[in-house]
Amino acid sequence: MTQQTTGLAWRRSLVVARALGSLLLGGVAVLGAVFVFRQGLLPLIDAVWRPGPEWLSAFRRVGILLSAMGGYWAYVHWHEKRKATELRLQPLRLLLGGASGAILVALPMAALFALGAYKLVHFRGVSPTLLGIAALLLIAATLEELIYRCLLFRVLEGALGTWVALAVQAVLFALAHLENLEYGGGGEATTMLVSVSVLGLLWGALFALTRNLWVAVANHAAWNFTILLSGVPLSGNEDWRALAPLNSCYAGPDWLTGGRFGPENSLLVMASALVAVLLLLRALRRHGAVLKPKT
């Protein structure tokens, strides 16, 4: 090994080590802020105001979201020493992100209903409870996008480049969803890892193109809510099916319906998401938004 090669390997190791250190610090900032809220402020709110179970649950969810975002802002402000421009609200982009997320999953699902792979049993009507579920899905999508795209992807991208960062965050995002398949077999778990990795690439590429948290959040939340409304499982979750406006059932094979994990494991839905990923990656190249690895 030449001296030049050794020096290059050393510099790369140093860049990776710094990125890992930044990720650790960012994770501590975000999760630490959430921990302080849950273990300190939330019990104080309960002790002083006695808001009752429903209001306390609402305070908990909103408080976790705000504390996580506050921790991330503090990390960016004091460690990276810059403005957290990715947290700025951009209403038009947000609306476009939400509409595209809903359409992206609604089109292949409509095809599945038309093909008879999904069947409508009956229409239940719209329940006011859906507003609470929509808020919960929005909070969950925000936390996931904040951690996987704003923090993990962005920090890794600065060290390893856009392509590697996209791949790493997508795989880690998929692995985190393994717990949704409590009793899944190897084949089902493998399909899930592939499908959720594609979604990780989708939302990672969307963030890379827009550099805005809320665009990715809107797309992610609208995708999830569209699935929920159809009355089929959402990422392996059956809890909310009874509240969906549509009471639906499967009438096709698992590779087409998605099985217990839901439409995200359907080859038709995966193909739709993959096409969107390829278009986004092409747009990244065209707009010169691809960062090279640091040497």
- Helical (H) or strand (E) element with 246: strand 246-250
Phi, psi of 143 (to 5 degrees): -65, -40
Residue 19 φ/ψ, nearest 5 degrees: -65, -45
Residue spans per domain, the chain: 1-83, 89-295
Q: Report the candidate in 289, 37, 260 with the shortest Cα–Cα distance to residue 143.
A: 37
Task: Tell me what pLDDT residue 6 has.
Answer: 66
Q: Is 118 helix (H, G, I), strand (E, B) or coil?
A: strand
Ranges of residues in the chain whose predicted pLDDT is under 50: none
Which of 191, 171, 167 has the alpha carbon at shortest distance from 181? Answer: 191
Question: What's the confidence (pLDDT) of residue 16?
Answer: 86
What pLDDT is recorded for position 233?
93
Count, residues in the chain: 295
Per-residue pLDDT at 59: 93
DSSP 32-61: HHHHHIIIIIHHHHHHHH---HHHHHHHHH
Q: Flag whether the pTM goes above 0.85.
A: yes
For helices 91-115 and 213-229, what crossing angle results, to 10°? 30
Backbone region of residue 161 per phi and psi (left: phi > 0; alpha: psi in -120 to 50; beta: other values):
left
DSSP 177: T
Phi, psi (5° rounding) for residue 73? -60, -45
- Residues pairing with 246 in the sheet: 123
Residue 30 burial by Cβ neighbours in a 10 Å radius (0-12, 13-18, 19+): buried
- For residues 39 and 43, what is the distance between their CA atoms, to the nearest angstrom? 7
E strands along 111-188, which residues? 118-123
